[in-house]
Amino acid sequence: MADELVLLDFWLSPFAMRVRIALAEKGIEYESRGENVMNNSDLLLEMNPVIKQIPVLIHKSKPICESLIIVEYIDEVWKHKSAFLPCDPYQRAQARFWADFVEKKVYSLGRKMWDSTGEAQEAAKKELISCFKLLEVELGEKPYFGGESFGFVDLALIPSCCWSLWFEECGINMAGEFPKIFAWAERCMDRESVAKSVPDRHRVYAFLVELRKKLFAKH
């Protein structure tokens, strides 16, 4: 494995999607090894013994963990194409701030909407709508969050678009309430790197609905 680039992956993970998109944007060849997230492989436990989660990028036998850290690593190692993070220190700090906001808010609230019901689900929905309002303002009239180029914040957020049918089922009308984010998502999905890395939203929705049925059948 010394000279290989291996991604420990799972098709539905938005965090693994980030890494797949980043590698595709840079045009880097790698081996994807799908993981069973219910039964971690020996390799995953060896490469990520602390958190024991995907994604893990293994470069020259050395593991890099956590999706946004992996994306920054890819950006720093393979500099032959446009950078994901801006050169200006302030702009770079802003990009990291919004990526962290997406990480801590959008994905956690989206999951909470999926694995809860009643008042808890409604509260998560309201908070998620507030987050999208902030992101709509931050995006403004720019084609991408960083300006003219697809970058770090776009990479952080775009995998959430495959959950869009679930958001709609919960009463969030992305096209109607957040037209700028909706148009941005369409723009991102037109990129080859994104289109081949983010699974079909209908497939994701069907999987989420079936998994949710199993989850609540246990209660």
123-151 pLDDT per residue, tens:
999 999 999 999 999 999 999 999 999 99
5-22 pLDDT per residue, tens:
999 999 999 999 999 999
Instruction: Burial-class residue 60 by CB neighbours within 10 Å (0-12, 13-18, 19+).
Output: exposed
| Coil vs helix vs strand at 98 | helix
Q: Which of 40, 54, 63, 62 is nearest to 9 (CA)?
A: 54
45-56 pLDDT per residue, tens:
999 999 999 999
In contact, 85 and 31? CB cutoff 8 Å: no
